[in-house]
Structure 1
Amino acid sequence: MARICQITGKKAMVGNHVSHSNKRTKRKFDVNLFRKKFYWVEEDCWISLNVSAAGLRLINKIGLDAAIKQAAEKGYLNR
């Protein structure tokens, strides 16, 4: 499975590692992902999601049900 947050859609970015001599080489900035289990009260079941730290904050802020509906609407959630 790709390292993509299922709530926010964040994925790895590509950039440059710049050395002291200003030499540039390509590098990858990975997402801070966690595999978390959540209890979805509305559906009365446990679900497992790949969630970034920003996704966890979003779930805490607006709630799991609203975050899942928002992610499904934007196409980030794959079941």
Structure 2
Amino acid sequence: MSKVCELTGKKAMIGNRVSHANNKKKRRFNINLCKKRFFLTKEKKWITLKICAYGVKLINKIGIENALKRYKKNIKINKNG
């Protein structure tokens, strides 16, 4: 199960964990993923996406059809969710 946003394509970033003594050790900054269902009104079908918090905000702002059009994703559409 990969930690990649299905809408925007965002992935985890690599950075440093810095101690008080300024020692640096590699770490990962994971993205905030959640699994959400959306209803496509044109096709009258539900889709389930694993998207980041930015993707949820974007869909709330511009709508699911416009978001899919903006990122041009070929997402499989399920009949029942």
TM range (shorter): 0.7 to 0.9
1:58 Cα deviation from its structure 2 partner:
0.5
Partner of 1:33: 33
Moved over 6 A (4+): none
Unaligned runs of 5+ in 2: 77-81
Secondary structure of the equivalent of 2:43?
coil
Q: 1: CA distance between counterparts of 2:4 and 2:69?
A: 17
User: Which amino acid is 2:58 matched to?
Assistant: L
Name the one with the larger helix percent: 1
The aligned length equals 76
Q: 2: CA distance between counterparts of 1:34 and 1:40?
A: 19
Partner of 2:42: 42
1:78 Cα deviation from its structure 2 partner:
5.0
Partner of 1:12: 12
Q: 2: CA distance between counterparts of 1:46 and 1:66?
A: 16
Root-mean-square deviation (CA), in Å? 1.4
Q: 1: CA distance between counterparts of 2:11 and 2:43?
A: 28
Identity %: 46
Please report the TM-score for the alignment, with normalisation by the length of structure 2.
0.85
Which structure would you say has the larger RCO, counting Cα contacts within 8 Å and 6 or more residues apart? 1
